[in-house]
Amino acid sequence: MRVGLIGPSDREELNRLAIRLEERSAEGVILDSRKDPAIRIAGGKESACGVDLTGLHAFYVADLGLPRSVVKREDGEPDIEASARALSASRRHLVAWNTLLARLATRCPVVNPPHTHDLHSLKPWEMSVYARCGFPAPVTISTSDAQALLELPGDPPGGFIQKGMAGGYGYTESFTPPESLDEARELLRSGPVMIQERIEGENVRAFVLDGEMIGAAEVITRDKDETDSRRGDTRIRRVELPEEAARVAVAAASHWGLLFTAVDFMADARVRRHVILECNSAPFFVNFEKMTGIPISSRLADYLVGRGPMGRGPLGRGR
């Protein structure tokens, strides 16, 4: 049995998965997405990265390796013409991968398929969906209207933070509401912003696979004033997720069609509830696994070879 693993060849998650697949008498075939994918679709056959995909039974997508769309000059400023060409190339690259993955998904499992990859760039929409679904979620305002920044709702105990409109780009920072329209306009000079109430507590990441919560860990920052758990010194501790939060994690994953995801929460210390922040379609998990013992790669490998719980893996459905 052969399983395709799409992403950079040195990404730890792919190499860990390849080992777990080998332990299950399967071969993990890494398709290095940083190279020219050379995608070919002809008749009933497909190939990518120099690999014939005929006979591969499942795919795991970690990173499509899209070329950067911003090219900078020697002085550090963007090169407008070169960036336009790079953006066009990146879009074509994305279309080729999405076309291939959509085609593969008609005949075998793809974790996670193309439509889930855009979630990281839809954060304002994602937060509005959680609120509409009735999930505990922080108050969030996304706007390009200066007046709206002068009318932020309430006065949350933890104040406000500013987050990137797209996940993974930039850090979460403290936000001080502007006191004048001119200040608000200056804050919006580089584009729309997303402002959120700051939740006092610890960041919690829960891993969900095929409709089941398989484990959770708390990311504790040494600096209690830190607004972003990706920055500074942290430690990771395995925790039991409350039943309500586990249900929310599974429901959120199901809503977005994510077979495998990491759902981020803030554990609100004031009211003892978990507030959902986002779902990640291709989460890093090796460090979490090392520090917590949660068997993430083993469970994912089981799913990819059809050994999911109660035969729920991709090759075990309907048995």
Domain boundary among 181, 197, 213: 197
Same domain, 67 and 165: no
- The pTM for the full model equals 0.85
pLDDT value for 317: 42
Quick one: tokens of 198?
Answer: 């700051």
Question: Which pLDDT belongs to residue 304?
Answer: 95
Q: For the chain, what is the domain count?
A: 3
Is residue 77 one of the residues assigned to a domain? yes
In a domain, 68, yes or no: yes
* Model pLDDT, residue 92: 86
Residue 132 lies in a domain: no
Domain match, 9 and 104 both: yes
At residue 318, the pLDDT reads: 34
Domain membership flag for residue 133? no
Instruction: Output the pLDDT for position 59.
Output: 96
Tell me what pLDDT residue 57 has: 93
Q: Quick one: 157 and 253 in the same domain?
A: no
Question: Could you tell me if 188 and 220 lie in one domain?
Answer: no
- CATH code where residue 33 lies: 3.40.50
Asked, for residue 58, whether it belongs to a domain, the answer is: yes
Q: Which residue, of 197, 214, 241, is where some domain finishes?
A: 197
Residue 69 belongs to domain spanning: 2-112
Residue corresponding to tokens 């803030």: 266
Q: What is the pLDDT of residue 170?
A: 62
Tell me, what's the pLDDT at 316? 44
Residue 117 domain-assigned (yes or no): no
Nearest alpha-carbon partner for 275 in 208, 197, 171: 197
Do 173 and 208 lie in one domain? The reply is: no
Q: What is the mean pLDDT of each run of 10 residues along the chain (319 residues)?
A: 94 96 96 89 88 93 83 84 86 88 91 81 89 92 93 84 72 86 92 89 93 91 56 77 95 94 90 90 91 95 78 44
Q: 208 and 302: one domain?
A: yes
Residue 168's Cβ-count burial label (10 Å; 0-12, 13-18, 19+) is exposed
Residue at 131 is within a domain: no
* Whether 12 and 95 share a structural domain: yes
Taking the C-alpha atoms of residue 244 and residue 181, their distance in angstroms, rounded to an integer, is 41
pLDDT in the model for residue 319:
28
Q: Are 268 and 275 in contact (CB under 8 A)?
A: yes
Last residue within a domain, chosen from 153, 176, 197: 197
Provide the edge-to-edge strand list for the sheet that holds 234-239: 234-239, 212-221, 201-209, 260-268, 273-280
Q: Evaluate whether residue 123 is within a structural domain.
A: no
Same structural domain for residues 248 and 283? yes
- For 69-72, the CB contacts below 8 A with 24+ separation are none
For position 311, what pLDDT does the model report?
A: 42
